[in-house]
């Protein structure tokens, strides 16, 4: 059978399909369950130095072609999550700790606390975070640069930067991340969005607005991957609307070093295995390797 194991920022993964941040990554047991179900690596829920309760509900609503969420980054804090990391480690796949903060100091503090992970993913892209967190960081290029540089100076493990879906700006944000030492970029976080209940005339989410995920955002994410792959030397890890092996193949053709899956898990815990077997069968049929497929959408005709 074709081998689709690969290496991403020095981490060996048996399959390029990983769990996305914030979806079923809230305990060590759930991270382990996802790893056992076939994920090549797992990303934790975003964690900060201080615990946070997140936004009032409703926090999640299903819409056409996806989900809207405004969780508000609830988390028990990095320190309180360390026991969960121990439990997750038994799964035997790389564990990536997603961290949050408002500035270089907070990010570096969180990064040091999670320094036992295999890599860090800096969440500078959540569209519904509390003031000063998440995507607001990307409106200040100097702040983004400062955060990436400072985290890189604080830990020895690879640092991935998770970017917002700003189609016109994402390349610029990727270049800032790369210049300041990021080992990879992850694209994309959810797309700012909202829904209104026409019976009450009120926004449905407790936070009024939130982030859209699922199939609706796949073409946006694919373009971000394509543009980032063209502009950067560091790997691009893709996330957004991936719901089957065909989607994963499309992203790898656009240049993805690996893919992450979030929303599609809501009704399919077997998705990682399906992506793995689907990619293997496709490559066998085409007589191609995973590496040869990566980025072929960029070839000159």
Ligand X SMILES: Cc1cc2nc3c(=O)[nH]c(=O)nc-3n(C[C@H](O)[C@H](O)[C@H](O)COP(=O)(O)O)c2cc1C
Shortest Cβ contact with ligand X: which residue? 22
Q: How far is the CB of 24 from ligand X (least distance, A)?
A: 9
- Complex with ligand X: residue 6 or 263, whichever CB lies closer: 263
Residues carrying an active site annotation: 126
Give 152 or 162: the residue with its C-beta nearer to ligand X.
162
Q: Least distance (Å) from ligand X to the CB of residue 291?
A: 24
Which of 21, 236 has the CB closer to ligand X?
Answer: 21
Least Cβ distance, residue 204 to ligand X (angstroms):
15
The residues, any chain, with a CB within 8 Å of residue 250's CB and separated by 6 or more, are 222
Residue 211 near residue 69, CB atoms below 8 Å: yes
Residue 97: beta bridge partners? 120
Which residue lies nearer to ligand X by CB, 219 or 288?
219
157 DSSP 8-state letter? S
DSSP E strand boundaries for the chain: 6-8, 11-13, 17-19, 41-43, 60-63, 66-69, 95-99, 119-123, 159-163, 184-187, 191-193, 196-197, 202-203, 210-213, 236-239, 258-261
Residues interacting with ligand X, by CB under 6 A?
20-23, 45-46, 60, 67, 69, 71, 73, 98, 123, 126, 162, 189-190, 213-214, 217, 239-242, 261-264
Crossing angle for the helix pair 218-231 and 170-179, to the nearest 10 degrees: 40
Q: What minimum distance in Å lies between the beta carbon of 67 and ligand X? A: 5
């Amino acid at each position: 059978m074709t081998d689709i194991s690969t290496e991403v920022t020095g981490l060996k993964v048996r399959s390029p399909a990983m769990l996305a941040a914030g979806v079923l990554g809230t305990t060590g047991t759930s991270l382990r369950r996802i790893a056992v179900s076939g994920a090549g690596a797992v990303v934790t829920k975003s964690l900060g130095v201080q615990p946070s309760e997140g936004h009032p509900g409703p926090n999640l609503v299903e819409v056409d072609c996806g989900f809207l969420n405004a969780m508000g980054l609830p988390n028990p804090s990095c320190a309180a999550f360390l026991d969960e990391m121990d439990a997750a480690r038994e799964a035997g796949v790389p564990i990536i700790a997603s961290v949050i903060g408002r500035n270089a100091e907070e990010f570096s503090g969180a990064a040091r606390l999670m320094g036992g992970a295999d890599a860090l993913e800096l969440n500078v892209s959540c569209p519904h975070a509390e003031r000063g967190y998440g995507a607001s960081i990307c409106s200040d290029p100097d702040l983004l640069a400062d955060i990436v540089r400072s985290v890189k100076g604080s830990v020895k493990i690879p640092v991935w930067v998770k970017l917002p879906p700003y189609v016109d700006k994402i390349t610029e944000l990727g270049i800032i991340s790369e210049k300041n030492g990021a080992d990879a970029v992850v694209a994309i976080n959810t797309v700012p969005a909202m829904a209104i209940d026409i019976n009450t005339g009120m926004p449905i989410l407790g936070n009024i607005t939130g982030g859209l995920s699922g199939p609706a955002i796949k073409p946006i994410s694919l373009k971000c991957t394509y543009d980032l792959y063209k502009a950067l030397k560091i790997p691009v890890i893709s996330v957004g609307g991936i719901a089957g092996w065909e989607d994963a193949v499309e992203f790898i053709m656009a240049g993805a070093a690996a893919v992450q899956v979030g929303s599609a898990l809501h009704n399919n815990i077997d998705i990682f295995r399906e992506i793995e077997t689907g990619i293997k069968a496709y490559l066998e049929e085409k007589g191609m390797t995973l590496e040869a497929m990566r980025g072929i959408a960029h070839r000159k005709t």
